[in-house]
Structure 1
Amino acid sequence: MQPKSNVHVVPLAPEHREDWERLFAGYAAFYKVAQTPQMRERVWHWIFDPDHEAEAIVALDDAGRAIGLAHYQAFARPLGANTACFLNDLFVDPQARGSGAAEALMVALQEICRQRDWAVIRWLTAEDNYRARAFYDRIGRKTPFLAYQIDV
């Protein structure tokens, strides 16, 4: 998979804060999740805390504006005796959809995984997120596993 645009992907940095806030709030709104500025502040600090597993990359347009984000983290896979990447969040500004930002983020994440010797990238999406699913069907494969959750 090769990105087909001039979108440039970089690690999230302090200068991206305003764009990241806008994108992350847009992601929460897309999934109809109530998100407060305090919640975004907590996640921002996680990303920059070297002792926390959360990491992030952003896709920048030609003007240097962040138009997409990906939050990810390592997770252990005991059955395979390896480490993998869990893609927590992938979001592209609706105005930038079709720009190649999502593909550029996934290509960059694949390279990060290769550098770290992580075996796979795994993620979830909503069943009715048809646009994202069309992209995911093109770049990855659906697993035979179902996701379950217990709220505590």
Structure 2
Amino acid sequence: MLTIGPLEPTDRDGWQRLFAGYNEFYGRTMPPEFFDQAWTRFRRAEEVHALGARLDGQLVGIAHFLTHASTTAPDSCYLQDLFTAPEARGKGAARALIAAVTDWAKERGCGRVYWSTHESNATARRLYDQVAENRGFILYQIPL
């Protein structure tokens, strides 16, 4: 059985394994203090938020998200990180996490939920093309 809900204090180790897997997928390694900082923020649930997907009680997926003001619409919800354990893929966890974030954002009056992914992430894009609209924007960034 698949369930979606807030991360609990006992989820810390499982969450960190999943978040490390997410970062490894994108070729990043994070120092331990980044994990500590993110976990502390999620526990406060003020600036950034997190949900977990559990399959038969086991944490198999995570979603990290935040809201921000918009100049052209109601506030927006940015789905910053989404990751499902390899052994749980294809079982609906990512789809359910996206739906839960969308419900969360609707309850708070947000006008949209959006996210980005690498163009080469074909597996995720197959799902994303089913649940959202690709509006064709290209992401630019300036590392500081």
TM-score category (smaller protein): over 0.9
Q: CA-to-partner distance for each residue in 1:24-59, whole Å, 9 max, x for gaps? A: 010011111011222111111111235x41100000
SS in 1 for 2:69: strand
| Structure 2: gaps of 5 or more residues | none
Q: Structure 2 length as normaliser, TM-score?
A: 0.95
Two-structure CA RMSD over aligned residues (Å): 1.1
For residue 5 of structure 2, what is the aligned residue in structure 1? 10
Structure-2 separation of matches of 1:151 and 1:29: 19
Structure-1 separation of matches of 2:87 and 2:33: 26
The partner residue of 2:66 within 65, 73, 88 is 73
Q: Structure 1 length as normaliser, TM-score?
A: 0.90
* Residue 27 of structure 1 pairs with residue 22 of structure 2: yes
For residue 142 of structure 1, what is the aligned residue in structure 2? 134
For residue 88 of structure 1, what is the aligned residue in structure 2? 80
Q: Which amino acid aligns with 1:104?
A: A
SS in 1 for 2:97: helix
Identity of aligned residues (%): 36
Greater RCO structure (CA 8 Å; 6+ sep):
1
